[in-house]
Amino acid sequence: MEPLGQNRWNSTRLTTLLNLFAFLYTEAQISQLDAMSEHVFSKSDFDYDLPPQLIAKEPTSERTASRLLVVGDGAHGHCQFSSLPHFLRAGDVLVLNDTKVIPARLSGIKDSGGNVEILVERTEEERVALCQVKASRGLHPRHSVTVGNTSVRLRERVGDLYRLVFDTPVIDVLEKYGQVPLPPYINRPPKVNDARRYQTVFAREKGAVAAPTAGLHFDEQLLTQIEAIGVKVVYLTLHIGAGTFQPLREESLDAVQLHPERYSISQQTLDAIRSRAGRCIAVGTTVVRTLEHVARTNILAGETDLFIRQGFRFHEVDILLTNFHLPQSSLIMLVSAFCGYERTMQAYASAVNHRYRFYSYGDAMWCERYEL
């Protein structure tokens, strides 16, 4: 047995060594954070390898049957989306995007005989729409395109979009001939079930050409359970454009310019969010962009092209529920800004390793806001 004094000396030495280790570990963390804060992020920083078989081509059998990756404070948890109520508490506000996907994809034939695919980005006037166009040998003002019994002509190019004039109301053409605008990575024709499943159960305001995919996991029963906890459920609208699927072209993020998207939020909803007793939980990146845009402008309805990336300071949102996004996209950059770069990329690597399903019909993440 060692003398009592020797035990005390050993204990003191151990405490000193532990304190030194803790100090060095903290210094290493600070150095890492400093290095990350000084790093100039570019598009390629947000790349990751995704096996093609992990891209979800079909929805789950039930909306709440998807999986949920919980990301916070360096830990990753794996559960079912149906367990979401366990992460919520009375006083929280859950914010959903109630935009409704329109049947925005049209197929037509040029008067010269070539096939044309039109994706309506937005309706500007009753018979005028801003669109994406895929056509053999391009589309020129001298061409007319036949869609069903409707004629369509090019008025002008607007960047990489086309302003098209229809000879009947655009909404009538879409309702009669339009198809569900499934994302290109699903790579199959729409099925009858897609008209229901590529739409949230709370969709009300027509205008989106892509679904707010984080909202696809909710059904009426889950929303009822959430409200029974004492969570306030509120809605805003952001009409998602086709640009959400387009990869960023510029390597430098300083050169990125997103397509503007229309949004609206009521004063009542904004007051409920700002007077909350608990946390603001944004369901989807579209909700984050709307709330953070309004926080900076105090304009309740208009357009936003807000590009959220590393270094962005969040004012409204505490928790983000979101699907997994394409590599090098503005959406994964938003998640990284919210959740932290290292934590986000580690979460994506964990999701690939655990074979989560990716993209619109895929699984979801619960992301806690990263604080330096």
- Average pLDDT rounded to a whole number, residues 104-115: 93
136 and 64 in a common domain: no
Q: Above 90 in pLDDT, residue 217?
A: yes
Q: Find the mean pLDDT for residues 281-302.
A: 98
Q: What is the CATH number of the domain that holds 170?
A: 2.40.10
**Domain shared by 140 and 277, yes or no:** no
pLDDT in tens, 69-81: 999 875 679 999 9
Whether residue 111 is found in the same domain as residue 92: no
% the chain with pLDDT above 90: 79
Q: What is the mean pLDDT of the chain?
A: 90
| Residue 112 vs residues 130, 139, 154: alpha-carbon distances, Å | 22, 11, 14
- C-alpha distances (whole Å) from 223 to each of 99, 219, 220, 233, 367 are 17, 6, 5, 8, 19
CA distances to 48, 243, 333, 341, 345 from 45, rounded to whole Å, are: 9, 21, 9, 9, 10
78 shares a domain with 152? no
231-244 CB burial, b ≥16 within 10 A, e <16: bbbbbbbbbbbbbb
My answer on whether 265 and 199 are in the same domain is: yes
- List pLDDT tens digits, range 321-358: 999 999 999 999 999 999 999 999 999 999 999 999 99
267 and 358, same domain (yes or no): yes
Q: What is the pLDDT of residue 243?
A: 76
Which residues face 304 on adjacent strands?
261
Q: What is the pLDDT of residue 24?
A: 40
Tell me: pLDDT of 12 over 50.
no
Token pair in block for residue 38? 């000084």
Structural domain contains residue 19: no
pLDDT digits (tens, 9 = 90+) for 147-200: 999 999 999 999 889 999 999 999 999 999 999 999 999 999 999 999 999 999
Same domain, 230 and 358: yes
| Last residue of one domain, picked from the residues 159, 178, 197 | 178
- Which of 156, 178, 200 is the last residue in one of the domains? 178
- Indicate the residue among 178, 199, 220 that finishes a domain: 178
Quick check: 21 pLDDT over 70? Answer: no
pLDDT confidence bin for 248, thresholds 50/70/90:
confident
Q: Which domain holds residue 59?
A: 45-101+189-368
Q: Are residues 345 and 305 in the same domain?
A: yes
Distance (Å, whole) CA 67 – CA 83: 9
Q: Residue 199 and residue 210: Cα distance in Å, rounded? A: 9
Whether 67 is in a domain gets the answer: yes
Name the more confident of 158 and 292: 292
Render pLDDT for 31-70 as a digit per residue (tens, 0 to 9): 444 445 568 999 999 999 999 999 999 999 999 999 999 9
Structure tokens, 226: 């959430």
pLDDT at residue 276, as a whole number = 97
Q: How many domains does the chain have?
A: 2
Evaluate whether residue 14 is within a structural domain.
Answer: no
